[in-house]
Amino acid sequence: MTTGSEDESSNALHCAAHGGVGYSTEEERIEVLAWLLEKTGIDINQWKHEFSGMESWRRDTMETALQCAVGSNALGCVRFLLEKGIDAGLRDFYGKTARDLAVEMGNHEAVKISDGQ
C-alpha cells in the first residue's frame, strides 16, 4: 500500500480537503483527513502531483491540501489542517500561499483562520 508520498497520482489528502467526493460533508472530509494522517503516515505538506514531469500539469496542480481546502471554502478543513501542523507558508507553482489564495478569493473567514483568529 502506498502512503501517498511515493505515487504521483495519490492525492487523497487533497481530495478530502477539497471535497473531491461530491456527496461528502465537510465533517466527513475532516474524518478522512484525520484517518489519512493517523493511519497512513501521509506527509501533510505533500504537494498534489509533485512528482509529475509534465510542466503544464505541475503548474496546474502544485498545491497543498491547505490550498485545496481554501479554494473550496472548506473552513473546517482549513482549521483542521492548520491545527495538525500543515506548513501554511508553502507556496504553489505561482508563489502563492493558502492565505494569498484566500485574499484573492475575498474569503475573509479563511484569512482570519490563517491568521490564527
| Cell numbers 475575498: residue | 106
Q: What is the pLDDT of residues 91-110, one digit of tens each?
A: 988 899 999 999 999 999 99
Number of folded domains that form the chain: 1
CATH, residue 77 = 1.25.40.20
Answer yes or no: is 5 within a domain: no
Answer yes or no: is 1 within a domain: no
Mean pLDDT of all residues in 32-61:
74
Which position has the higher pLDDT, 17 or 55?
17
Answer yes or no: is 96 within a domain: yes
Answer yes or no: is 7 within a domain: no
Answer yes or no: is 4 within a domain: no
Q: What is the mean pLDDT of the chain?
A: 81
| Cell numbers 509534465: residue | 54
% the chain with pLDDT above 70? 77
Q: Which helix (H) or strand (E) holds 94?
A: none
On the question of pLDDT at 57 being above 70, the answer is: no
Instruction: State how far the Cα of 24 lies from the Cα of 51, in Å rounded to an integer.
Output: 28
pTM over 0.85: no
